[in-house]
Homo-oligomer: A and B are copies of this chain.
Amino acid sequence: MEARHTLADQTFEQLQTAIIQGRLIPGSKINEQELASQYGISRGPLREALQRLEQRRLIERIPHVGARVIKLTANHLHDLYQVRAELEAMACRIAASSISDQQLIELEQLLDRQQQAFQSEQLTSLQDDIDFHVGVLNACGNQTLINTLCGDLYHQLQIYRHQCISSRRPLQALAQHRQILAALKQRDGELAALLMRRHIEAGAANTAKVLAAKLEDFQDE
């Protein structure tokens, strides 16, 4: 509950989750007046929120014309995952030589909790996967790398992952996370990077398949 208690920030967060969850459908136009009164605020803070969404590439704005939610395309998805794989592999390579024993323990505990939660509830959350990746990221210590992934790319990715919930394979993902963690433990950066790249590419292929099916259905535009 990270409260930056300003209306613009709150509205930004709400709009972001609305977009990620698909409540604001991709490609639809955004009316400032309408949204503002809908959220019970003025157009000032709303415009600030919209601008931040634009910088995160969740919406597209044209001066004097307006804002639209971004559309989902196979190309965009491909580009996103390609950059993500490269950067997270890099994070692994760095983290392997800089991660602390404490951080290693925390990551292991995180995976244990997730495995336990899965065995009992049998349902997995998208957040679980993200938590592990963010953990590795933080361990690498490169703030620019962290900002680039957490501040920009992850939010765009979440749109696709939420739209394409897919036949996700949480057990497989969990096993891959354990492999990556083992490599980090052994300070084998190259192996960790390789495993991370494969893990992400598997997820990309999976998401892309579901997206293709979805785009097939909506033959519109």
Contact = CB atoms under 8 A, between A and B. Distances in A.
Given A63-B6, A63-B9, A86 B87 contact: yes
A79 interface: yes
Given A48-B48, A51-B51, A144 B86 contact: no
Interface in A32-74: 44, 47-48, 51-52, 55, 57, 63-64
A90 B6 CA distance: 39
A57 B143 CA distance: 12
Interface stretch (A106-114, A145-153, A202-210): A145-153
Nearest to A141: B79
B153 A83 contact: no
B79 A145 contact: yes
Nearest to A62: B4
Contact of A83 (B57, B79, B80, B142): B142
27 contacts: A4-B63, A5-B63, A6-B63, A47-B48, A48-B48, A48-B51, A51-B51, A55-B55, A75-B143, A76-B143, A76-B144, A79-B143, A80-B144, A82-B94, A82-B144, A82-B145, A83-B90, A83-B142, A83-B144, A83-B145, A86-B87, A87-B87, A144-B153, A144-B156, A148-B148, A148-B153, A152-B152
